[in-house]
Amino acid sequence: MKKFLGAAVAAGLAFAAQSAQAQVKVGALYPFSGGLALLGDESFRGLELAVEERNAAGGLKGQKIEIVKGDAVDPNQAVGEARRLTSVDKVPVIFGSYASSISLAATQVAELAGIPYFEMGAISDPITERGYKYVFRSNPTAKDFANKMVDSVLDILGPALGADGKSLKVAIIHEDSLYGQTVAGFQTARAKEKGVNVVDTLPYSAKSVDLTPLILRLKSAGVDVVLQTSYQNDTVLFFRQMKEQGLKLKAIVGAGGGYSLADTMKAIGAENMEGALDVDFTQYKTNPAGAPGINEFVAKYKAKYGTEPRSGHSLANYMGANVFFDVMTKSKNLTGDAIREEIAKVDIPQGKTPTGWGVKFNAKGQNERASPYFMQWQKGELVTVHPPEAAVAKMKVGVGSN
Amino acid sequence: MDVTAQLILNGIMLGSMYAIIAVGLTLIFGIVRVVNFAHGEFLMVGMYAVYLFNKQMGLHPYVSALPVVVLLFLLGALIQRFIIQKLLNADEHIQIFATVGLSTALINLALILFGADLYSVNAPAARQPVPLGSFNVLSGHIVIFCAALALVAGLHMFMQRTALGRAIRATAQNRYAAQLMGVKVERIYIISFGLGAACVGLAAALIMPLYPVSPTIGTYFVLTAFVVVVLGGMRSMYGAFFGALIIGIVDSLSGYYIAPDLKEVVYFAIFILILIFKPTGLFGFGRGTE
């Protein structure tokens, strides 16, 4: 029976919608176990809330949406689970995936099967740059993060510090796995293009237990601004040792990752994290005028899960899921080509979604109006300080208690 | 010049942290002749224990060193008794696989119990910079340095002056001869593995104020500890101690003068060179000098 319905849905038989039993399955591919599970699950909650909301409002063209989960711990398992979803469960579309490595692997399977893959969280640029027809991404990419960080030196930090942005001595530091290398590569290119004065670029291992050599190097180079791309442990270590070694910076900007997590702030201490800037997906201390629906999302989240959202990932997935469900509703059927046709028509200006992002997909399937926000740690809270329409607090200068 | 001196000082402090871990690893390798790949995970277990003692009972990490050392001794002894002992006459590869398997199991157990989040204890006194002339050292690092010295001195006394210590040295030198002399070799192995793990327990209590714990924290320290053990001559705890200080200084200097991401390259290059040219270790302590 289920198989028949799946086939029926895929064929887009609208009359099935009349039946109370009718349902449309959607695949949800995230890391639900293993080391990435925490934020994988957090991402999934955004999708889950969007689905519940749709079902409460009558479902998708009258059909109940049913989520079929796929647990992708690593790229290998991502391939296996994507195969299961496409060939055994026969889902017409897949949502995912939080981690770039998982998305890169799973999208290959979906593309071959001709099934639309909706990416709502992974930031690696190549996901939408391999010429795939049915991979669509609602969130900003690593390049957007890097550009925003470099541009902030000229547009935001310079004016705030009362100095010419180009005169500030900037250092790029990053953990040396694919994530850090990618963002730092884009940063270096952007800095050259914009004339930002990068005095040093220092990669380090995220498993480092001592960053004092790096910190002493920043100190002897007289660096004003640090742009850091990091995970959690290394962020904690850097901030602790920065204080211990007496490094005084005018500003530090993180690329999401370890910077956005409340646990990082707790481990470092609110007073030491004070003033640290962070470029990331939209977080919750954001002005609803620039992100309509954000407070309603938080209320729904708390009602269902009993806690505050653990990170902005759920919001980004919620926003993305709604965009894609709208597309699925308007599309004449759920085949890859019909979805692709409908995706091209989406046109939402900035500031009209719960993340504040606009939506306009390019030919590669990438949303070109998504851009990360500029946040700052103030008194133990991560508050949005830029752009002005989404800001809830004024930006301060200086870092920590040094 | 000032920077160089500060770097060397930082390196010695870092090295003393490796020293405590490496001495434990050396004890297990030198006496039981098992390469313990789960050593880093013992550290992780110890750190979670310190965290729990701190959170549930409000013990300062340094105070919890005592129960955690005992706990880790028991953990090590049990693992020796019920896992390694059974494989003692098996192929070396099998012993290695057993410890690698144990390591993976412990990491995933921690993931299930604690998740991938970081946990840290609040012990600001251990993170105070202490001025030393024109340089700065962390109070927590001074404690670690002193503890490393005391550990090596204590173990030296134990190995040289007590009957049990002599039995352990005899077993390390020749398992079969020791058995013939009436030493209960299996018991010695259990005690030695326990001692090795207990060293990590001490390290866990001292490191916890400086580093937050996560399931993979062990892997951060243990690879370096292996280099240290080889540098020190595999079976000598004095070698391990000085080897650790050297690696600490190399780590610190190469991170500054070469590049932070290339410091591993530098000390793994040292590791390979030692294996090729001086497999008995830098100090020639080598086989049978324990």
Distance from CA of B169 to the nearest CA of A (A): 33
| Beta bridge mates, A359 | A348
Where does the pLDDT of residue A201 fall: very low under 50, low under 70, confident under 90, or very high at 90 and above? very high
Strand pairing of A277-280 and A251-254?
Answer: parallel
Question: What's the pLDDT tens digit per position in B32-88?
Answer: 888 899 999 999 999 999 999 999 999 999 999 999 999 999 999 999 999 998 888
The rounded distance, in Å, linking the Cα atoms of A72 and A95 is 12
Count interface pairs A-B at CB distance under 8 A: 95
| Choice among A11-15, A374-378, B104-108, B254-258 with the minimum mean pLDDT | A11-15
For B94-119, the pLDDT digits (tens) are 988 999 999 999 999 998 898 777 88
Among candidates A176, A213, A233 on the partner chain, residue whose Cβ is nearest the Cβ of B255: A213
The answer to whether residue B10 neighbours chain A at the CB level (below 8 Å) is yes
Same fold, A2-140+289-371 and A143-280+374-390: yes
Task: Count CA within 13 A, CB hemisphere, residue A376.
Answer: 24
Q: List the structure tokens of A163.
A: 């100095």
Asked if B138's CB is within 8 angstroms of A244's CB, the reply is: yes
Cβ contact B116–A205 (<8 Å) = no
Provide the ipTM. Answer: 0.84
B2-115+129-277 fold = ABC transporter involved in vitamin B12 uptake, BtuC (1.10.3470)
Q: What is the mean pLDDT of residues B181-194?
A: 93
Where are the domains positioned within chain B?
2-115+129-277
Q: Closest partner residue to B212 among A210, A212, A267, by Cβ? A: A267
pLDDT of residue B260 exceeding 80, the answer is yes
Asked if the model's pLDDT at residue A33 lies above 90, the reply is no
pLDDT (0 to 100) of residue B285: 56
Q: How many Cβ atoms from other residues are within 10 Å of residue B163's Cβ?
A: 8
Sign of the Cα pseudo-torsion (B88, B93, B98, B103, in order): positive
Q: Can you give the residue ranges of every domain in chain A?
A: 2-140+289-371, 143-280+374-390
Q: Long-range contact list for A385-389, CB < 8 A, 24+ apart?
A: A385/A277, A386/A152, A386/A156, A387/A290, A389/A287, A389/A289, A389/A290, A389/A351
Contact A93, A111 (CB under 8 A): no
CATH, domain A143-280+374-390, list 3.30.300.30, 3.10.450.50, 2.40.50.140, 3.40.50.2300? 3.40.50.2300
- Cα separations in angstroms, A79 against A86, A110, A136: 11, 9, 18
Q: Does the beta-carbon distance from B116 to A36 stay under 8 Å?
A: yes
- Listed in sequence order, the residues at least 6 apart from A134 whose beta carbon sits closer than 8 Å to its beta carbon are A110, A111, A114, A115, A116, A117, A336, A339, A340, A365
How far, rounded to the nearest angstrom, does the alpha carbon of residue A355 sit from its chain's CA centroid?
11
Q: What is the mean pLDDT of residues B201-220?
A: 92
Report the topology of domain A2-140+289-371.
Answer: Rossmann fold (3.40.50)
Contacts of B264 in chain A (CB under 8 A): 205
Number of H helices, E strands in chain B: 12, 2
| B54 near A CB under 8 A | no
Share of chain B above pLDDT 70, in %: 97
Better pLDDT: A202 or A232: A202
Strands A225-229 and A251-254: parallel
Average pLDDT score over residue span A176-194: 93
Of B160 and B117, more confident: B160
CA angle B113, B119, B124 (to 5 degrees): 155
The closest CB to that of B118, out of A176, A245, A267, belongs to A267
On whether the CB atoms of residues A179 and A304 are closer than 8 A, the answer is no
Contacts of A97 (CB under 8 A, 6+ apart): A29, A30, A31, A43, A72, A78, A103, A106, A119, A121, A122
